[in-house]
């Protein structure tokens, strides 16, 4: 199953981008024996539309265009469901075992995600009710995807209960 991160906004070169790359490289290596591939990042330019709502609509269309056919869509939103790392790992494994071809994790732009887009997502996930900068969300997501591979492989990186 292919894993994708679709994000509105581009990360500049620097330690944040390097940390994301490091976690995703680890996820690629750990994911192969588990049938998890890709761990690609699709970066989209922020819309320049005049209103927040118009920007969100344009960005939703652009995000949707990046999804592999039949992808499970996970929208990251502070109003989403907070779940633990083991639940996330088991959910990804269930999708893989159910024959899903891909999972796209979606990070919105500065205005957030368009509400109808969020309603259509298969899972709306929150890392916290706090609002986080785009770069930090991407770093946290990359780390959680790597952690997912370690949990599923029984690697000691995750020290759960």
Nearest alpha-carbon partner for 9 in 112, 84, 153, 147: 112
Q: Does 112 show up as a binding residue in the annotation?
A: no
Q: Does 129 show up as a binding residue in the annotation?
A: yes
Q: Does 67 show up as a binding residue in the annotation?
A: no
Give the DSSP letter string of 72-129.
EEEEEEEEEE---HHHHHHHHHHHHHTT--EEEEEE-BTTB--HHHHHHSSEEE-S-S
Q: Does 76 show up as a binding residue in the annotation?
A: yes
Q: Does 88 show up as a binding residue in the annotation?
A: no
Q: Does 95 show up as a binding residue in the annotation?
A: no
**Residue numbering of the annotated binding site for S-adenosyl-L-methionine:** 76, 108, 127-132
**Residue numbering of the annotated binding site:** 76, 108, 127-132
């Amino acid at each position: 199953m292919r894993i994708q991160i679709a994000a509105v906004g581009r990360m500049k070169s620097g330690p944040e981008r390097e940390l994301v790359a490091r976690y995703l490289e680890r996820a690629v290596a750990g994911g192969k024996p588990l049938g998890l591939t890709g761990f690609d990042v699709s970066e989209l330019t922020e819309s320049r539309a005049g209103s927040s709502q118009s920007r969100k609509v344009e960005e939703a269309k652009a995000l949707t265009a990046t999804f592999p056919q039949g992808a499970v869509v996970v929208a990251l939103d502070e109003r989403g469901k907070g779940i633990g790392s083991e639940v996330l790992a088991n959910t990804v494994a269930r999708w893989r075992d159910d024959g899903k071809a891909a999972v796209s994790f979606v990070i919105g732009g500065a205005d957030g995600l368009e509400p109808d887009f969020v309603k259509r997502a298969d899972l709306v996930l929150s890392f916290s009710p706090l609002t986080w900068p785009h770069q930090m969300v991407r770093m946290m997501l990359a780390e959680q995807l790597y952690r997912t591979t370690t949990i599923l492989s029984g690697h000691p990186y995750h020290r759960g209960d």
